[in-house]
Every structure is written in C-alpha cells, then in structure tokens.
Amino acid sequence: NADGKTGDGCGLLMQKPDAFLRAMARQHFDAELPALYAVGMIFLNQDPIRADAARACFNEQLAAQGLTLVGWREVPVDTSVLGRLALERLPRIEQVFVTGEGLAERDFGIRLFMARRLAEVALADDKQFYVCSFSDKDIIYKGLMMPADLAQFYPDLGDERLATAICVFHQRFSTNTMPQWPLAQPFRFLAHNGEINTITGNRNWAQARRLKFANELLPDLQRQNMETMDPDLRAFYEYNSMHMEAWDGPAGVVLTDGRHAICLLDRNGLRPARWVTTTNGYITLASEVGVWDYKPEDVIAKGRVGPGQILAVDTHTGQILHTDDIDSHLKSQHPYKKWLRQYALRIQSTLDDNDHGSAFYDADQLKQYMKMFQVTFEERDQVLRPLAEQGQEAVGSMGDDTPMAVLSRRVRSPYDYFRQQFAQVTNPPIDPLREAIVMSLETCLGAERNVFEETADHANRAILTTPVISPAKWRTIIDLDRPGFERQLIDLNYDESLGLEAAVRAIADQAEAAVRDGKVLLVLSDRQIAPGKLPAHAALAVGAVHHRLIETGLRCDCNILVETATARDPHHFAVLIGFGATAVYPFLAYEVLGDLIRTGEVLGDLYEV
C-alpha cells in the first residue's frame, strides 16, 4: 500500500509450540493442560458487544460438542508497525484454549472442526469474526503487516519458549482482492503461491457433494495421461479422477497437519520450489534461493520439486518422502487396475460407424430448426463450414466489436450474456491436444460416491473422452443397458401459454422426481419442437436443474446430459458445462454439417465430417 506499511498479508503456520502454550495456560488460567488440547487463533469484532456475542456463541458450540473451555487469552500486539489501512480493519485477536479429556485424538479433531464450522455459520453476519486456526496440531500468526514487522507485531514470536519443528511462511501479493485480515496467508492447513483458477467450480462441486463427504482432500491433476507412467499408478489416478474434478493451478502449495511438512506443485510446474538440507538438521524449501544464510560446505543435499511432484517430511520419524515414495504407497493401497478392468466402461465409437442415429433433416425441416434456434447464414458459412472443412475453429480477428448483449438492440442468445473468468496474463495457453500430458477433457457418467472411501463399486462409471458427444457415442449412451445408468428424458419444449419461469420450474421438478425415482442419466432435450410450443433455453434449464439438485442433495446421484440445438461454438459448450452439464450433444450443429455436404458447399465424406 502507498502508506509503506500495509501489505497484502503475511503470516506463519507452525506446528503447535507445546511448551509455550502450556506456559501461557499456567500464566493466564492457572491451568495445567492435559495431553490432548487445542488452541484457536481467533479474529473478533472490535465492537466489544459483538466480540462478547461471538465468544458466547463459540463457547456454546464447544459445549455442544462435549469440549471443555479452559479460557480466552488476549494476544499481545504492537500496532505501531501497522499502516493506516491495516489499522482501520484491525480485529481483536484472541486465543481460545480447549481440552478434550477422555476423547480419542481423531474424535477430538472432528469435534473441533464441528464446533468451528457451526460457530462460523451462526456468526455469518459478523464479517470480522474469523477463525485463523483451531487445531490440536498447529497454530497460525498472521495479519496485514509487512513481513519484516510480523515478529514485532506479535511479541509471542520473540518468546524463546515458542519452539516448533515446522514453520510455513507466506507473503501474499493480491491481484484481484483488496487487503483483508482473513485473506492473509497461510490458511488453516496451507499456503499457495499462484492461483487456483477453478476455485469457483471446485467450491460449487464441494457444496454439491456435501452429503457424500466424510473428510477433506486436495486432489492431484491429470497425471494419468503420461504414457510412461507406471500402470498401477495410472490406475490409481484414473480411479480417483472418477469422483472429483481437478483443482487447476498454476500453483505451488505448502501445507502441514502439524506432523508432516509438504510441498506439491501443479501439473505444469509453473511455480518454483527449491529445497536444501543442511548439516544443522534444517530442511528449507522456498520459491526463491537464499531465504536464509547457510554456508555451501554445510549443504548435504538440494534439489527442486518438479511439475506434479511432491516432497514431504515426517517430523515424527525423520523420514523425507519424495514423489516416488508417496506414489508407491498410494498405488498399493487397493487393486485399482483390477477394479477399473472389471467395472469401468469406456464409451467409444468405431471407425466404421456410419450411422448418424436417425435420418438427417430435409431442407425445409432444417430451416425450421435454424430459424427457431437463431442459426444465421453467417454462422453457417463462417463458423460451422470451417469446422467441417478443416476440423478446427475459424480464424478471426482479435477482439469483439459487437455491443454487449445486455446493451444490444437485437435478440441475443443467453450464451452471449456470459463471459469467461480466467487470468488472461499470467497463464500460458493450454489445450488437451497440445498439452495432453497435463490436460484432459475426460468426464464420467454414473452416480458419484464418497471420495474418502475406496471400493470396487467406485469404478462402476462410464468414461467419455470429451463432454462434447458425437452422434455415434450419443446413440451408445442412449442405448446403454446397464445397472446404474437408468435414463429419464425431459423435454425442454413447453406450451406457450405456460410462461418461461413456470416451464423452467416444471423442468426442475421433473428432474428432482426422476432422481428420487432412481434415474441416473437426465437427458434434457429441445429436439421436439412443435407448433404452439417454445423451447426453454438449454442454459436456463441446465442451471435450474443443477441448482435444484444441489439444494436437495441429489446432484451427485445423477448426470445432466444435454441434447440441444443451441450449442454451436466453444463458448456455448463452456457455459453449459459451467452451469452443470455433464455432457452436450449439439445435434443441430451436426445437421447443418450434413446439409453443407449434401449441398456441395463442403467436399468430403458425410460421416468423417
């Protein structure tokens, strides 16, 4: 910040400093902590009344979980190092001490999590209330100060009794949010250098899977595409990718559970992470070389964490675990390859499959569909024809000089009202053709299961190489006769007297009823146009069905397949998939391509095109 003192945030995530925290409990509460205890670092509202209310609510949730409150300690701070912006937003910073006598360690951790989450939900209206950490394993000291001032702001960090075996430091550089105390890193278990560009979708799918979750996980990315990968390891990744989408970087992640110190990099390795081991027993990993002074003769070993790799240190056993060590452990947990071979189904078309699935529309029928779904001559000639001729998108000039859809005087497709969200500058362009090792368009059909359980039934899914379906694959899906893949066709065309809102609600009602009845493949189709009927736009229908099923806890029990005339270019598919579609069959695009060949506008074999 311009005041020279307010940063985007920095902080320390460390293994619980046991001796220091026990000393604080004796000093402030005259209490000897038992073997099993936890300390939370809490940001409270500066308003004393709201702070008291937050403490009372937190205490109530602790009691509800059968936990014992030892007391609240006000954390000493030196505000002289803060800039004006940081001071204006400064919360009250306190520590809460809790014990769990009589509980198993795992049960204690679960109860801590439940108490925190229930308190956060109850105090959602208090924007200053934030739990930095609440664990029996680690603790966080962070805030909106410059890194050089962190230790002065928190005098605790200068106390000789505050000793720890793991220390994660991060300085945040914000590109898309204003500085806020809660957004300072590290977070409860990790810090990341870079950005998780898929975070909105990941959060939405986590919400959809809430009834199937029993734990937390940060999944690896599309590593199973590497041709040289060990078959058993490939099977492990393929099996797990069936039930959770990738979290996409570029990002370098450092994390700790209080026992292990871990660093992992995204599949492209676009964030540096270099490590060095020295004779004094330190292992230092950082995004820059030279974060602390050591003599060259003291170096035992050094290296870097590469693309898709991981480095872990077990502070209980002293083991250093590299990628191969962790991979060997993971792939041997279950017979993943056997399960995939027995239960997984790959939906593929054959080279001699010359069946469109139904007769092509005649010229008059095609004109009706093109008019109903706004396929202009320009789109037919300049968008779809190059696809047929060259198998790739038409080349156009950079930029778009058409009015924004919301300001346009013409009737525009609902797709035009949406724009992509992505980092346009920092990320290299990647696609599944040129970057097949690190990117995949594979998607799966079939009901999802709890990602934290691993059984043979988890492999009972149908795999598609792409969410954009060809006629032959569409016919295979529609004819699929296999338990766990029951279908329900939902017509998107509605009586014009009904009205759009009522029609969309009725579509969502049909979808909910179908899933409750055990249907897994929901086919939303606007193919059956007729006089007196209007098509509900596929994007509206998909979004309504997707969110209705999330609200009712049914989304992960089914797939949304869209047979639509509205999807004709990559942006259309992106909107549908972003709104929750599992796969899209753009039947009208194929009909137009067939007509281009029949009229001689495109030369080639009908089925190859």
Q: Would you tell me how many other CB atoms lie within 10 Å of the CB of residue 400?
A: 10
Residue type, 377: F
Instruction: Give the whole-angstrom CA distance, residue 20 versus residue 159.
Output: 8
Is the previous residue joined to 186 through a cis bond, with omega within 30 degrees of 0? yes
Indicate the domain borders of the chain.
Answer: 13-164, 354-393+467-598
CA–CA–CA angle 361, 367, 372 (5° rounding): 110
Count the helix, strand and coil residues of the chain and give each as a percent rounded to the nearest 5.
35, 20, 45
SS3 310: strand
- The span from the CA of 66 to the CA of 567, in Å, is 54
Of 261, 53, 52, the residue nearest 168 (C-alpha):
261
Angle between helices 538-551 and 570-578 (to 10 degrees): 20
Quote the CA–CA distance of 585 and 32 in Å, as a whole number.
66
Count CB-CB contacts under 10 A for residue 551: 13
Are 557 and 364 within 8 A, CB to CB? no
Torsion of CA 472, 477, 479, 484, to 10 degrees: 160
User: Rounded to an integer, what distance in angstroms lies between the CA atom of residue 320 and that of residue 262?
Assistant: 10
DSSP state of 384: I
Q: Taking a C-beta distance cutoff of 8 angstroms, is the pair 565, 526 a contact? A: yes
DSSP reduced 3-state for 321:
strand
Cα 287 to Cα 170: distance, rounded to the nearest angstrom: 10
Asked whether the domain spanning 354-393+467-598 has the same topology as the one spanning 13-164, the reply is no
Going by C-alpha positions, the residue among 550, 582, 531, 542 that lies closest to residue 566 is 542
- Nearest CA among 22, 276, 282 for reference residue 165: 282
- The domain 13-164 is classified under which CATH number: 3.40.50.460, 3.30.70.260, 3.40.50.2000, 3.40.50.970? 3.30.70.260
Q: How far is CA 234 from CA 231, 326, 445, in A?
A: 5, 14, 20
Q: Which residues of the chain register pLDDT less than 70?
A: 1-3, 174-177, 194, 197, 213-228, 247-250, 349-359, 396-401, 420-438, 605-609
pLDDT at 571: 87
Residue with tokens 């009344």: 49
- Sign of the four-CA dihedral 473, 476, 482, 484: positive
Dig out the tokens for 252 from the structure.
């370098």
User: Phi and psi at residue 44, in whole multiples of 5°?
Assistant: -115, 160
Of the options 3.20.20.70, 3.30.460.10, 3.40.50.300, 1.10.3720.10, the CATH number for the domain spanning 354-393+467-598: 3.20.20.70
pLDDT at 139: 95
- Give pLDDT, residue 96: 97
Residue 60, amino acid = E
Angle formed by the axes of helices 48-64 and 105-122, nearest 10°: 140
Distances (CA, A) of 274 to 10, 158, 320: 20, 27, 15
Amino acid occupying residue 396:
G
Supply the pLDDT for residue 55. Answer: 97
Decide: 16 and 257 in contact? Cβ < 8 Å.
no
| pLDDT of res. 508 | 97
From start to end of 308-389, where are the E strands?
310-314, 320-321, 345-346
Instruction: Say which residues have a Cβ less than 8 Å from residue 569's Cβ, sequence separation at least 6.
Output: 383, 393
Q: Which residues have a Cβ under 8 Å from the Cβ of 575 and sit 6 or more positions away?
A: 415, 418, 539
What is the rounded distance in angstroms from the CA atom of residue 339 to the CA atom of residue 551? 32
The 10s digit of each residue's pLDDT in 154-197 is: 999 999 999 999 998 888 776 666 778 888 888 888 887 767 76
Q: In this structure, is the dihedral angle defined by the CA atoms of residues 400, 569, 439 and 177, taken in order, positive or negative?
A: positive
Dist CA 402 CA 493 (whole Å): 30
Residue of 144, 92, 198 lying closest to 421 (CA atoms): 198
Question: Are 168 and 254 contacting, i.e. CB atoms less than 8 angstroms apart?
Answer: yes
Q: Are 152 and 87 in contact (CB under 8 A)?
A: no
- Provide the 10 A C-beta neighbour count for residue 555: 26
pLDDT value for 218: 45
Instruction: Output the pLDDT for position 390.
Output: 78
Residue count of the chain:
609
Task: Supply the pLDDT for residue 362.
Answer: 87
**DSSP letter string, 403-461:** PPGGG-SS---GGGG------TTTSPP--TTTTTTT----EEES----TT---GGGG--
Three-class SS of residue 525? strand
Please give the structure tokens belonging to residue 65.
């979980």
Q: Is the dihedral of CA 192, 195, 197, 201 positive or negative?
A: positive
pLDDT at 251: 76
**Cβ 522 vs Cβ 488: under 8 Å:** yes
Rounded CA separation 188/170 (Å): 13
Find tokens 């509460």 and name the residue: 29
Query: What pTM was estimated for this model as a whole?
Result: 0.79
Residue 555 and residue 545: Cα distance in Å, rounded?
9
